[in-house]
């Protein structure tokens, strides 16, 4: 039996309002819960109370105005937006035999070699079971490990991941199925062509959480009359926020 492998293709504001406050007798202007430093004739003061949605995550009132803050794992961008901090860029969080995977709000370290007996590594995140090994009989000939990150609150349905066979031979018939990790019926597969399919998210996934989905590709070689299968194990990390 030949070893077949999966080829994987991985196929994200609010208005600012200005409050105008006139000069007061003590030289400090006030509006709502905030106060403004005096400017010659008028003071422009943006208050959290006046514009509660000015910050993407959270607004904190301060003397003279406000400040936007972001949750752990995010950094402030353009004074009011939050963007994920990519911990993996520094290259100092994971061990040499691990792979760093950045996601919205954090990071993970995954083993570079996730293969378990009787599978052996043939590439990073890709494992094969040899047909001449007795323990491999009845098992998928290959397992591919992939990781992806999404935010909470995505519009549905949402295309997540495309899986395709590298073999375009007309004698090959491919079928794709979700074989585990879909107990809550949150995903389905949409056929794209005879040799590829798209994993689609059909129900909202609220983070922080992790979903591990196994997609099986079975291949029937009609010319040589043999069948094989391969598994894509996709780990989806869902961030806690919609950003």
Chain residues in the site for Ca ion (CB under 5 A): 84, 102
Closest distance to Ca ion from the beta carbon of 194 (Å): 37
Structure tokens at 156: 């549905």
Buried b (16+ CB within 10 A) or exposed e, 106-141: bbbeeeebbbeeebeeeeebbbbbeeeeeebeeebb
Number of Cβ atoms within 10 Å of the Cβ of 193: 10
Q: Considering the complex, state which of residue 73 and residue 125 has its C-beta at the smaller distance from Ca ion.
A: 73
CB of 16 to Ca ion, least distance (A): 27
Between 142 and 149, CB nearer to Ca ion: 149
Q: How far is the CB of 204 from Ca ion (least distance, A)?
A: 21
Q: What is the C-alpha separation between 67 and 55, in angstroms, rounded?
A: 8
Pairing of strands 106-111, 187-193: unpaired
Nearer to Ca ion, 87 or 186 (CB): 87
Distance in Å, CB of 133 to Ca ion, minimum: 39
Torsion on CA atoms 111, 113, 118, 122, rounded to nearest 10? 160
Query: Are 239 and 210 within 8 A, CB to CB?
Result: no
Residues 6+ apart with CB under 8 A from 28: 35, 36, 37, 38
CA distance linking residue 197 with residue 217, whole number of Å: 10
- Token pair of 199, please? 């994993």
Nearer to Ca ion, 67 or 88 (CB): 88
Nearest to Ca ion of 84, 186 (CB atom): 84
Q: How far is the CB of 11 from Ca ion (least distance, A)?
A: 21
Minimum distance of Ca ion from residue 84's CB (angstroms)? 4
If the CB atoms of residues 44 and 75 are measured against Ca ion, the closer one turns out to be 75
């Amino acid at each position: 039996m030949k070893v077949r492998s999966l080829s994987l293709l991985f196929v994200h504001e609010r208005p600012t309002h200005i409050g105008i406050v006139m000069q007061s007798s003590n030289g400090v202007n006030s509006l709502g819960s905030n106060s403004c430093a005096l400017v010659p004739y008028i003071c422009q003061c943006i208050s959290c109370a006046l514009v509660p949605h000015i910050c993407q995550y959270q607004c904190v009132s301060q003397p003279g105005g406000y400040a936007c803050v972001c949750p752990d794992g995010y950094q402030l961008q353009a004074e009011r937006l939050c963007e994920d901090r990519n911990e993996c860029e520094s290259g100092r969080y994971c061990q040499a035999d691990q792979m760093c995977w950045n996601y919205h709000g954090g990071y993970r370290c995954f083993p570079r070699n996730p293969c378990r007996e009787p599978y052996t590594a043939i590439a990073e995140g890709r494992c094969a079971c040899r047909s001449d090994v007795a323990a491999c009989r009845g098992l998928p000939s290959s397992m591919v490990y992939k990781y992806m990150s999404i935010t909470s609150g995505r519009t549905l349905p949402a295309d997540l991941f495309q899986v395709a066979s590298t073999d375009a031979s007309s004698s090959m018939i491919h079928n794709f199925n979700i074989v585990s990790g879909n107990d809550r019926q949150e995903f389905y597969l949409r056929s794209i062509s005879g040799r590829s399919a798209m994993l689609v998210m059909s129900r909202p996934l609220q983070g922080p959480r992790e979903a591990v989905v196994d997609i099986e590709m079975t291949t029937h070689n009609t010319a040589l009359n043999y069948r094989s299968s391969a598994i894509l194990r996709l780990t989806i990390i869902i961030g806690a926020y919609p950003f």
